[in-house]
Amino acid sequence: MITTRATGVHCSVSCVVVTLYAAFASNLDPNLMAERCPYSPLRGTGWITGWRLTFGGEELGWEGAMATVVEDPSDPANQVFVALYDVHPKDVKRLDEWEWFDQGVYRKIQVRVQTLDGEQLAWMYVLNAYEGGLPSARYLGILAEAAEAAGAPDDYVADIRSRPCQSSGH
């Protein structure tokens, strides 16, 4: 097994190093990502099909449950809108810190993203916790605004805004 420096993903000797990062939560926002990862340009958007946006890790903090995606091919309508960033090695550590990767809160996986240019292989962070719990209303607002900024369809943004949530008490 080899661990690639760019992503920290373990693979066999014949693996392909994937630099495209598929963002699905607050990192959908290109302006926010430009601040967090100044060397990593937005390359486009797409969908991961057979997956759904959900929440989990409520016990981990941050005003309730945190966003993640889970594979769920049972419903053909399941898909998650993502922004694809070409992540420079200088920015991988910054992203890992932001996503609490070294603490084990999120882990990295590879997914196939459907784009207008065809299928792209990308890596993304998924929550390393059980699904369940409610996000805060504030967090849902952040996610909806990020999706809107990335150009997600109106019905996708509306679905995020309409999800059950808890009041943050602020």
Residue 144 in tokens: 């909806």
pLDDT in tens, the chain (170 residues): 344 444 455 544 444 455 899 999 999 999 999 998 998 899 999 999 999 999 998 877 668 898 899 999 888 889 999 999 999 888 888 887 777 666 667 888 999 999 999 999 999 988 887 888 899 999 999 999 999 999 999 999 999 999 999 885 54
Tell me whether residue 6 is exposed, middle or buried, using C-beta atoms within 10 angstroms of its C-beta: 0 to 12, 13 to 18, 19 or more: middle
Task: Return the domain boundaries, the chain.
Answer: 2-161
Q: Write down the pTM of the prediction.
A: 0.84
Q: Report the candidate in 52, 48, 78, 23 with the shortest Cα–Cα distance to residue 131.
A: 52
Q: What CATH number does domain 2-161 carry, 3.40.50.720, 3.30.70.60, 3.50.30.10, 3.10.490.10? A: 3.10.490.10
